[in-house]
């Protein structure tokens, strides 16, 4: 949903969850310049072997239900996420999802943001 400065309809992050799906289901909740918020529903999916996300924007993600194993390229072992766990992923920090729960939906809330501009050679 694109932000147009008007009130947007209210909804619930847990409504209309898919019981299962071949792919993760991404639902854009809000998008405006420099910011995107999405609900991601995983039902047993994982990143393909040898695939790493390397995103130009930063991401803050919280797991609301289910479970997930999130791995960073610079860490030896994956992080096991449980409901309520959140993590900040700076731009270009390579990461992947090793596993998500196959018995219940793993619901994520992801906030993607543009990196702060570099002003005068230093970040502000």
Domain boundaries, the chain: 25-115
Task: Read off the pLDDT of residues 28-62 as tens digits, 9 standing for 90 and up.
Answer: 999 999 999 999 999 999 999 999 999 999 999 99
Give the Cα separation of 7 and 15 in Å (integer).
20
C-alpha closest to that of 32 among 8, 15, 16, 11: 8
Give the Cα separation of 32 and 66 in Å (integer).
29
pLDDT at 13: 94
Cβ contact 98:47 at 8 Å: yes
Cβ contact 1:75 at 8 Å: no
**CATH H-level superfamily of 25-115:** Jelly Rolls (2.60.120.10)
Tokens of 90: 């700076």
Cβ contact 45:16 at 8 Å: no
Give the Cα separation of 92 and 24 in Å (integer).
22
pTM: 0.85
Give the Cα separation of 40 and 19 in Å (integer).
13
pLDDT at 37: 96
Instruction: Return the higher-pLDDT residue of 90 and 124.
Output: 90
Q: Which residue has the tokens 């289910």?
A: 66
Give the Cα separation of 31 and 70 in Å (integer).
25
């Amino acid at each position: 949903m694109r932000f147009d400065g008007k009130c947007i309809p209210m909804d619930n992050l847990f409504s209309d969850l898919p019981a299962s799906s071949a792919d993760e289901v991404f639902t854009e909740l809000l998008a405006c310049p420099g910011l995107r918020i999405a609900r991601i529903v995983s039902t047993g999916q994982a990143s393909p072997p040898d695939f790493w996300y390397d995103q130009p924007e930063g991401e803050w993600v919280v797991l609301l239900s289910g479970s997930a194993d999130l791995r960073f390229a610079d860490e030896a072992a994956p992080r096991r996420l449980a409901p309520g766990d959140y993590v900040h992923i700076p731009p270009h920090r390579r990461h992947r999802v090793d596993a998500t729960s196959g018995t219940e939906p793993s619901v994520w809330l992801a906030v993607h943001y543009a990196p702060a501009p570099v002003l005068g050679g230093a970040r502000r």
